[in-house]
Chain A
């Protein structure tokens, strides 16, 4: 159909290579190169998406590697899910690059930044286009590297270094799960291709136990990438990277790759109830767990980061409850409003040069564009009726309820309440009241920064309309994929009411606490709880004392074994040999007379022996 599909990821790669080679000469123009090439990807992606509308999936491969009788292939696959993801990724990437042109203006490593963005966008688009698990894994790791490089962009900061390292290692722990799952699946099916795996699952060629095992292992990969509990700790730390990066990678695209992975492998998960339950429980737990931490954080980006973790948990919950459409829908809307929130936060940071919300305040009047746009984002994520988040969150709640997971349903409702509360806590602390810091010349950001926010703001406003209870465009579109069985559940009328109720209640609570100051802050009313939340349940410390210190101790143990036992044994052997030679060397005192005495004695003994053996002595 469209022979130019492979161009989509190649354009950002080209931008990476060009900027790496000629970045120093291009300087300011690097932003244009990066953005223009990504714009090309965006246009092509939209064309592909439109072609997919009612079209057939496209798949083309060529051989990549041969061993034994097996040939592994590489290529691309476009189906409705992929096409949607293509547009999301290239759109957000394009907007972020435009935004970065303003945000990173003063940085002297400007071209490298855009080169890294190009690399990341390439990897992410490649991931989305992968027709098989192996290729997906390849790009899966590459997006990890893109993320790693960009988190560590301010390499001279100690925190950035540890954050980058942590992000890479934590996600790699998850990746190993995916790695094992992928290989085990290969030996069950004999192929990495998605369609062949699904066909084998459909035909019942794989036993129930294997399906569950491999599905959960693959989900471990998603846990790592999407920052789900217990591998979530890297994501908030990843905020050490520049803010546009947080918007692109750690809000809209890469972290959603875990959700995408589960969605792409959905037929496998559907075949195992246990795997689905695992996904749902992990997702639900993460949703509420991260939301509670988000209540107490003081860094504007960290609040948003925990919010991302929580929302990703939501998506997982949806997928685990067989709510395929709900999960993908929320992924889409979340990409818009969370990228918007991050970009707005970046705009604020750009203006006030701090990330601590307690030093901000009263910015509503000073930032005419950023403030309303942030409000739109906050309303969308809180689920205020009519905005995009409302519809997708509603869909998730409905799916969870319809799947009979009532416990998780109520957890999700509480998480929705918490979300509304902490988002508006953030909003009120940053934009209302009096300025608490020393920000004298606060200026609105340049157009290059406000324009992307406006685009995302519009999408956050109306994005929900692609799948309302009245017009299920997205659902129909995704249902084109024949491998999926998409459940249509009837929406219960009271679920949207409850959802709206809790989100409004959350906003009201935040208003009472932070604007009216009628209710005491809970840092004062429950200091112990606040302390625990502020320290993120001490998960980092626990990991540090168990895994990090444990590995270090084990390493030292083996190191000393190596130093003293292994080398000691070697030393023992050489020592014994040396001891013998020392004894031998006493005879070698340089005295010719001793030598000849020994030689003569030796000859005499030899003669005696010969005589004795020859029988001359008897």
Chain B
């Protein structure tokens, strides 16, 4: 109860915001440096949390719980006294996600060197966004989750709308409308849950909702009611994930937002959807989830194939990556829907792995765009001749994305399919078509950009300096580390997942 580590972690970007607030608007180098340094603080806290976390302990750790809001509504069956706590804590999954968030944020801040104007506002919003993301993963109750979730929306809206490419306003509105609707549904579900159960704490809710159906029936939480809540949750989080056909906003964002924000967006923000499905969908309604697991797996396979097919004919590399994200999120759904140890772990691996891989690829997009002013595959070509290192990283990123063994993508893909083959072999067999298609579209895009005759417009290009591709190197190293020795993740994840599987939810 005494530890304030998590609060320090979540709110540490505030330091950066305050410092930036007192700085002049015009000092480009200084602002960028401070912006980057400010992300190191949460990174340090995240590493401390990760190191201090005890993997062998199923319980939620670093708990912080304070009374926060008290209010009374008269005439309700449970007496009408309500208390909402300020509730932070981490389990094996969220500690990994926190670290991932901090790492990707730091690297995205490094990628922000390509921002051309209004650096002060940019970095302040950026750091605010980081607070939101860290908070989402650190909170242990619905209200706090929701608040932090909303905090992520607003800075993202401005970051896309102000610093993006040509059609940025449209993308920003698209983002806000879709996610606003999603979070409205989410809010309704949360409030209903709260009014019915009287608690906002994840653990409390889990244990409440895991009571026998007859007991719940007496409290007016019947079967159909729970199904309704689950479906509403899936829709709300499905927008974020995104599940086809709720994905169109995400394409616009991936194409129009600046690369550093897409790194964050694709790397972390989409993962909130996956995390939510896991934490709320499966955590609160395991039985109901099991009953519709087939449909979720089907949606996953549709996502996987749909994204892969469309990515095959895109001319803009950013769009290829956007559809590839749709496709890869299908793997998360597949893994979750299989509801066994392998599949769930595969889904969580995919969350982490895709976070790193898409961050890497979008970083490279930024690097290339900065030099060539384009991300169209047809305008690039033969880049390997003038920028061999960049091309090499692009190839590595592509191979990681298509699930090459030895890199993190393979482990997640393998485990997700391993899980699904146990439960629904036929559907899984259809899904494996996606493995081939992924190879097809990734190679088409990556080889189209790097191999072949060098375009004349590219001949003047120079290889970026070491510091410029350092973030790519770090990401590659992490991807390879997880791929070669997945136990670094699985050791910390599996107890949490096993506990979830046993339907208990962890005990504070």
Contacts and interface: CB of A to CB of B under 8 A. Distances in A.
Interface of A: 63-70, 134, 137-142, 145, 152, 155-156, 158, 160-161, 164-165, 168-169, 172-173, 175-176, 179-180, 183-184, 186-187, 551-552, 554-556, 558-559, 562, 566-567, 569-570, 574
Given A145-B399, A156-B454, A184 B425 contact: yes
A559 B306 CA distance: 9
Given A138-B410, A562-B310, A68 B501 contact: yes
Contact of A142 (B248, B313, B406, B454): B406
A420 to B, nearest CB: 38
Interface of B: 177, 244-245, 247-248, 306, 309-310, 312-314, 340-342, 345, 382, 384-385, 399, 404-406, 410-411, 414-415, 417-418, 421-422, 425, 428-429, 432-433, 435-437, 439-440, 443-444, 447, 450-454, 485-487, 490-491, 494, 497-498, 501
Given A169-B443, A569-B245, A180 B341 contact: no
Given A552-B312, A570-B248, 7 more contacts: A63-B487, A138-B410, A141-B405, A145-B399, A180-B429, A559-B310, A559-B313
Given A65-B486, A562-B310, A137 B491 contact: no
29 contacts: A66-B494, A67-B415, A67-B494, A67-B497, A68-B342, A68-B345, A68-B501, A70-B341, A137-B405, A140-B405, A141-B406, A142-B404, A142-B406, A145-B404, A156-B385, A156-B451, A161-B447, A165-B443, A168-B443, A169-B443, A180-B428, A184-B425, A186-B418, A187-B421, A551-B309, A551-B312, A559-B313, A562-B306, A562-B310
Q: What are the nearest 4 A-B pairs in CB distance?
A: A68-B341, A138-B405, A161-B451, A155-B451
Contacts of A559: 309-310, 313-314
A155 B313 contact: no
A451 B248 CA distance: 62
A291 B417 CA distance: 39
Nearest to B312: A555
Given A156-B385, A161-B447, A164-B451, A180 B421 contact: yes
Contacts of B428: 180, 183
A64 B177 CA distance: 44
Contacts of B309: 551, 554-555, 558-559
Contact of A155 (B384, B444, B486): B384
Chain A contact surface mostly: helix
B436 A172 contact: yes
A441 B444 CA distance: 41
Given A173-B436, A186-B418, A187-B422, A67 B341 contact: yes
Given A65-B490, A164-B447, A186-B418, A558 B248 contact: no
A196 to B, nearest CB: 16
A165 B444 CA distance: 8
A172 B487 contact: no
A407 to B, nearest CB: 32
A169 B440 contact: yes
B423 to A, nearest CB: 10
Contacts of A186: 418
A183 B382 contact: no
A288 to B, nearest CB: 29
A284 to B, nearest CB: 27
A169 B313 contact: no
Contacts of B501: 68
A154 to B, nearest CB: 9
Nearest to A548: B440
A179 B498 contact: no
B146 to A, nearest CB: 25
B464 to A, nearest CB: 16
B451 A141 contact: no
A142 B404 CA distance: 7
B56 to A, nearest CB: 13
B136 to A, nearest CB: 25
